[in-house]
Amino acid sequence: MFKLLVSLVFIFSFSFSWAQKKESVLIYGKVIDKEKGTVIENVSVRINNSTFGTYTDKKGNFEFLLPKVKHYSLLFQTVGFKKEVREVELDENEDSAKLFVYLKAEIYELDAVPVFAHPKPDTIYGSPKYSIADFNFYEDKYLLLTFTKSMEKTTLRLVDEFKNEITKAEVPEIGGEAKELYQDYMGYTNVICKEGIYRVVIRNDKIKLYELPAQDFNALVRPIIDTAGNNLFFSNYSRNFPLFNYYYYNTKDSTYKPFATVEDKPLMDLYRFEYYFLKPAEKLMAREIADENNIDKHKAAAMMTGFTNSMYYTPLFAPLFVIGDTLHIFDHYKNCLFHYDSQGNKLDSVPISYHHPKNWKDWKNHMVKDLTEGNVFAVYSRDGHKYMKKINYRNGKEEGSYKIIHYSADRIKVKDGYIYYVYRPYESTQEKFLYKERIFLSR
């Protein structure tokens, strides 16, 4: 394990050497009301495909100091104004870019709206010609993975908030069955297929797909959970082992360290006991496999017996969320929420119990974070309905729950206080549509 970690860190150092070799670039500017000519404060400014975001100050100014790349896409949005997307292209000799962004006032025409005892979900997008298998957010638009008959032939579609299809691209059939859209720590959306992985790049509202080496992606990209400044946070999680570590890695000075260990101790005992249930000849074989592969004999035995595919084994689930400059690890085996600073130093811990509902079957080892507001929700399922409980990421307490209206909601994401999901009515000929609901918590 240590050799694997050292290898990973070496590759990380190579992969992120741009952070040291390339110059930084300053992107700054001012946001102005196009009609009045006055500055606008508190405008959200986000860099697409990254974790960078800021707000304009009282004078309408904003600035970013970023690693230099050739192209940036900036999204400007605030209440009362139309969203604006600005594309920035930089030459090699440029070290700054100044922008003056003019926003138009949003004029709302309010139609008669029916009032219901319970608000109805909004249909974001749907078509009678194809189903939506998965989705992701892109700027103020939606990226949809769609199919007609099977996931072996899929299409990526970019649609706007007014249900207009902007562009589309076919996912290469050579990649095999499409599984999901996966957003990596850099903010890129990737199409994960059975036989291939494709990075999605959108320029000037055109979709391009670039094939990535699947083995490298799974080894070097997927383990990285998030970033904070120059720091990366990754794990050596394996679904087939009841223990894993979280690691901190600094891209500037290449320092790294494990800072948290997650272990299901009762499950680990069962895992290790698999060796002692083997017959003498099988124990000998387990030891030989262990020696050949430089692994523990107990691990070899569990592999031989298929223990991790049995009804007695459940993969670990203890997610890490970066909120602000603090790391939050929800350790469901120590029944604690741990807080760490951005260097992986432990700050404190608080007890948690939301993962032990009265009916233990309701808990589905599923949590989501609001992509913009940072709130954390635990997901439960009862009689086919999904329930969301807001968990305070500071004290670990439940702050209310919400029942998703549609039955069997799938691919759940949360953004701006709304739940987004894919759904098709039970026993209906309707294709799968994309919906959203406003979260109204009840005690």
pLDDT score for 115:
54
For all residues of the chain together, what is the average pLDDT?
Answer: 89
Picking from 79-88, 212-221, 387-396, which range would have the lowest pLDDT averaged per residue? 79-88
Q: Is the pLDDT of residue 384 over 80?
A: yes
Per residue in 212-245, pLDDT tens?
999 999 999 999 999 887 789 999 999 999 999 9
Q: Which residues of 307-336 are buried (b: 16+ CB within 10 A; e: fewer)?
A: bbeeeebeebbbbbbbbeeebbbbbbbbeb
63, containing H or E segment:
strand 61-67
Q: What is the band of 17 on the pLDDT scale with cuts at 50, 70, 90?
A: very low
Domain ranges of the chain: 23-103, 121-222, 266-309
Q: With a cut of 90, say whether residue 443 has pLDDT above it.
A: no
Q: What pLDDT does residue 111 have?
A: 52
Residue 2 has pLDDT above 50, yes or no: no
CA–chain centroid gap for 385, Å, is 23
- The CATH class, in words, for 23-103 is mainly beta
DSSP state of 318: -
pTM above 0.75, yes or no: yes
Q: What is the mean pLDDT of residues 13-27?
A: 54
Three-class secondary structure of residue 161 per DSSP? coil
- pLDDT score, position 244: 98
Q: Is 427 helix (H, G, I), strand (E, B) or coil?
A: coil
Residue 176 has pLDDT above 60, yes or no: yes
Q: What's the average model confidence in pLDDT over 293-315?
A: 96
